[in-house]
Copies of this chain bind each other. A is one copy, B any other.
Amino acid sequence: MKATVLVRPKGGILDPQGEAVERSLRQLGFAVGDARVGRVIDLEVDAPSAAEARVQVERMCERLLANPLIESYEIELQEQGA
């Protein structure tokens, strides 16, 4: 089963990468604000059901993919052949 995880800096947390992107875009003449930069992780999960896959990916987020203190995560699952 394919899973996509979006990991983003939480609301109050400083995001220097987002600030740099925003500054650079403005210097190029784009009218943008509130830029935030996070990570997207795509992976193939071996699990018997979507429910079980979600549980597994949540554990991966808590243990490795995200830092729950400063980052939030969002999980999307696509069943294969669906």
Contact = CB atoms under 8 A, between A and B. Distances in A.
B56 A21 contact: no
A31 interface: yes
B64 A43 contact: no
Contacts of A60: 25, 28, 30, 32
A32 B8 contact: no
B40 A37 contact: yes
Interface residues of A, number: 33
A16 interface: no
A14 interface: no
Contact of A31 (B35, B38, B42, B47): B47
A36 B41 contact: yes
